């Protein structure tokens, strides 16, 4: 039986924010979970993760502004500050008194920036392979043309086979879904977010976090190295870390069960197979 409930829109932080909800009352007694995907991942592409989370938690997968069905446009602010404010306003608009944030890649950076202001409702923060680039730091391993070229093809129309050139290890179903939805990513949003990987300093935010933190990293891909883990744990003492074997940056695509196992009981209950 599917844990998917519905997709919805809410006006928060001055824009329309679209989300997918999973689980609902099945997560009664536990803090809801807001999943914030990465730079070119509309919420629907995380639906399979929502299904697993929904078995234990009331789960909301957010379309970050400029992605999926959330608001986009030439006049929209795509800064990290705006994206972080979106998450907090989203939780408030839905009346979530307490909630955990699970952010993948850019979503992890959004979670850090959202948490630095010590929002009352934020109870836990999970950072999944967040880019550790910033002023004076090594650049993010991925290159902008990979995003821009694939989005250009998606806007023209592409299928799963064409997506293979960009995501060669993904399954047919995964590539088909990305090919279907990638055109919804606003190129302006992606370029601004990518460039901000090098200009935003999330390390300065880490000492200001006051919630339990779990850092989940990929064995492959070189996004978060061992030295980066040590630095994060020094800046945010008490941060737990789990490195997922046999996985690149898109961890749940490469090792789905390993991804769920990495959470343990950090969120209040394990993500066991139904």
Taking 90 as the threshold, does the pLDDT of residue 268 lie above it?
yes
φ/ψ of residue 103, rounded to 5: -115, 125
CB 179 within 8 A of CB 160: yes
Q: What pLDDT digit, counting tens, does each position of 177-205 carry?
A: 999 999 999 999 999 999 999 999 999 99
Classify residue 272: in a domain, yes or no. Answer: no
* % the chain with pLDDT above 90: 97
* pLDDT value, residue 138: 96
* pLDDT value, residue 273: 81
* pLDDT value, residue 63: 98
Classify residue 46: in a domain, yes or no. Answer: yes
Classify residue 154: in a domain, yes or no. Answer: yes
* pLDDT value, residue 245: 98
Q: What is the DSSP letter of 205?
A: T
| Stated pTM of the model | 0.98
- Mean pLDDT (whole number) for 135-147: 96
User: What domain range includes position 114?
Assistant: 4-263
DSSP3 helix / strand / coil % (the chain, rounded to 5): 40, 20, 40
Classify residue 186: in a domain, yes or no. Answer: yes
Give every CB contact of residue 261 below 8 A, 6+ residues apart in sequence: 271
Classify residue 271: in a domain, yes or no. Answer: no
Q: What pLDDT digit, counting tens, does each position of 11-49 carry?
A: 999 999 999 999 999 888 999 999 999 999 999 999 999
Question: Distances from the Cα of 8 to the Cαs of 5, 70, 149, in angstroms?
Answer: 10, 10, 30
- For residue 46, count other CB atoms closer than 10 A to its CB: 25
Classify residue 274: in a domain, yes or no. Answer: no
Q: What pLDDT digit, counting tens, does each position of 72-84 carry?
A: 999 999 999 999 9
* pLDDT value, residue 201: 98
CB 206 within 8 A of CB 236: yes
- Mean pLDDT (whole number) for 91-111: 98
Whichever domain contains 218, its CATH number is: 3.40.50.1820
Half-sphere exposure of 33 (CA within 13 A, CB side): 29
Classify residue 200: in a domain, yes or no. Answer: yes
Taking 80 as the threshold, does the pLDDT of residue 274 lie above it?
no
* pLDDT value, residue 26: 86
- Average pLDDT taken over every residue of the chain: 97
Number of domains in the chain: 1
* pLDDT value, residue 10: 98
Classify residue 270: in a domain, yes or no. Answer: no
Q: How confident is the model at residue 1 (pLDDT cuts 50, 70, 90)?
A: confident
> Which residues, listed in sequence order, are joined to residue 12 by a DSSP beta bridge?
15
* pLDDT value, residue 230: 98
Own/partner contacts of 226-229, CB < 8 Å, gap of 24 or more, are 228/132
């Amino acid at each position: 039986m599917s844990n998917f409930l519905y997709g919805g829109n809410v006006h928060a932080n001055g824009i329309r924010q679209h989300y997918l909800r999973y689980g609902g009352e099945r997560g009664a007694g536990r803090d809801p979970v807001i999943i914030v995907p990465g730079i070119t991942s509309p919420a629907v592409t995380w639906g399979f993760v929502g299904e697993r989370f929904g078995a234990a938690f009331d789960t909301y997968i957010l379309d970050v502004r400029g992605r999926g069905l959330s608001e986009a446009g030439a006049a929209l602010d795509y800064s990290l500050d705006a994206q972080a404010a979106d998450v907090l306003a989203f939780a408030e608009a839905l009346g979530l008194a307490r909630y955990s944030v699970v952010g993948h890649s850019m979503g992890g950076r959004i979670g850090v920036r959202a948490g630095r202001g010590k929002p009352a409702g934020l109870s836990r923060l999970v950072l999944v392979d967040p880019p550790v680039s910033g002023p004076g730091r090594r650049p993010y391993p991925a290159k902008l043309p990979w995003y821009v070229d694939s989005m250009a093809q998606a806007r023209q129309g592409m299928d799963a086979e064409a997506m293979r050139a960009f995501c060669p290890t993904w399954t047919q179903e995964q590539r088909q879904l990305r090919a279907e939805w990638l055109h919804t990513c606003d190129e302006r949003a992606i370029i601004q977010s990518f460039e901000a990987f090098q200009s935003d300093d999330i390390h300065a935010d880490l000492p200001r976090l006051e919630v339990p933190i779990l850092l989940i990293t990929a064995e492959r891909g070189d996004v978060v190295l061992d030295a980066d883990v040590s630095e994060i744990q020094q800046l945010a003492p008490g941060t737990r870390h789990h490195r997922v074997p046999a996985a690149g940056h898109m961890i749940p695509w490469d090792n789905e069960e390993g991804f769920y196992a990495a959470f343990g009981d950090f969120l209040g209950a394990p993500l066991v197979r139904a």
